[in-house]
């Protein structure tokens, strides 16, 4: 039996991969430019680690709890916001310049991903017909992704390193905001794990009752009683519309939702 809710796969998330670069960059930044005895060093490294680890933990927790997944992704977002302030403080306290969002330097860092993808797609060697699959930044190894940013993240000037990490934190925060929005919409549309499990259980009971009825009478169950999905043919279950003009009304929904979105009016 397939799992009701899939989980994991966080290593392919752009948010996780960006958070990994931020974590590594922070460790090496603190080693090179900050006093190891400073409490700020521990706080920065822990904030960077929390941003990365909570994305992974939330992804795994999603198998059984939408609420936990949302909470952990929000913790990751808050940790990176804390780290952002630490880097800004570092620049301000040392009277070092912070790049403006629209500066050439900040634009160059932000455009790395899109520029790399375009370079791969526009190569003159077209022998690999599947190279569009190779042009996704998320398919690279960690070392390869780091290499795309190394001219800033390995720079001898702490201001360049700090500003580059600030750009990456803004990118990661944007990705996490999109992830949180998607998780909230999914929770509203599909319900939590307990609701989905209860729906699957009711659907299985209905399927068993229909099978017993068929055996006793020698006839197939009435389609008016338990309709089959018009898309995939699976058994359906009663649902209640939560939004829109039909909010509060019942309808038959496919038990394979969200993979199948077949519906039948009651």
Q: What is the pLDDT tens value at each position of the chain, 266 positions in all?
A: 444 445 558 898 999 999 999 999 999 999 999 999 999 999 999 999 999 999 999 988 876 677 788 899 999 999 999 999 999 999 999 999 999 999 999 999 999 977 665 544 443 333 333 333 334 677 889 999 999 999 999 999 999 999 999 999 999 999 999 999 988 887 766 655 555 555 556 556 666 665 665 555 555 445 446 778 888 877 778 788 877 777 778 888 887 787 888 888 87
What confidence score (pLDDT) does residue 126 get? 37
Q: Between the CA atoms of 66, 70, 75 and 77, what dihedral angle is there, to the nearest 10 degrees?
A: 150
- Look at phi and psi of residue 248 and say left if phi exceeds 0, alpha if psi is from -120 to 50, else beta: left
CB 5 within 8 A of CB 57: no
What confidence score (pLDDT) does residue 121 get? 40
Any residues with CB less than 8 A from the CB of 189 and at least 6 apart, and which? 242, 258
What confidence score (pLDDT) does residue 35 get? 94
What confidence score (pLDDT) does residue 196 get? 53
What confidence score (pLDDT) does residue 42 get? 96
Residue 154 phi, psi dihedral angles, 5° rounding: -105, 15
CA quadruple 237, 238, 241, 245: dihedral sign? positive
What confidence score (pLDDT) does residue 120 get? 43
């Amino acid at each position: 039996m397939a799992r009701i809710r899939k989980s994991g796969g966080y290593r392919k998330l752009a948010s996780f991969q960006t958070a990994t670069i931020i974590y590594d960059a922070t460790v090496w930044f603190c080693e090179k430019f900050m006093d190891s005895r400073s409490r700020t060093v521990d706080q920065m490294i822990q904030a960077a680690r929390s941003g990365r680890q909570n994305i992974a933990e939330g992804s795994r927790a999603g198998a059984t709890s939408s609420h936990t997944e949302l909470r952990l992704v929000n913790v990751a977002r808050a940790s990176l916001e804390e780290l952002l302030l630490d880097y800004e403080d570092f620049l301000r306290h040392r009277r070092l310049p912070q790049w403006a969002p629209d500066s050439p330097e900040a634009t160059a860092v932000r455009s790395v991903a899109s520029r790399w993808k375009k370079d791969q797609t526009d190569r003159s060697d077209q022998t690999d017909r599947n190279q569009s699959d190779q042009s996704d930044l998320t398919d690279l190894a960690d070392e390869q992704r780091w290499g795309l940013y190394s001219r800033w993240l390995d720079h001898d000037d702490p201001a360049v390193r700090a500003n580059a990490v600030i750009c990456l934190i803004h990118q990661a925060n944007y990705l996490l905001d999109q992830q949180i929005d998607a998780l909230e919409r999914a929770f509203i549309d599909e319900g939590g794990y307990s609701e989905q499990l209860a729906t699957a259980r009711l659907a299985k009971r209905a399927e068993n009752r229909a099978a017993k009825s068929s055996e006793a009478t020698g006839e197939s169950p009435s389609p008016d009683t338990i309709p089959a999905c018009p898309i995939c043919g699976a058994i359906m279950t009663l649902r209640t519309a939560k939004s829109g003009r039909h909010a509060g009304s019942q309808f038959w929904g496919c038990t394979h939702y969200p993979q199948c979105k077949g519906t039948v009016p009651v």
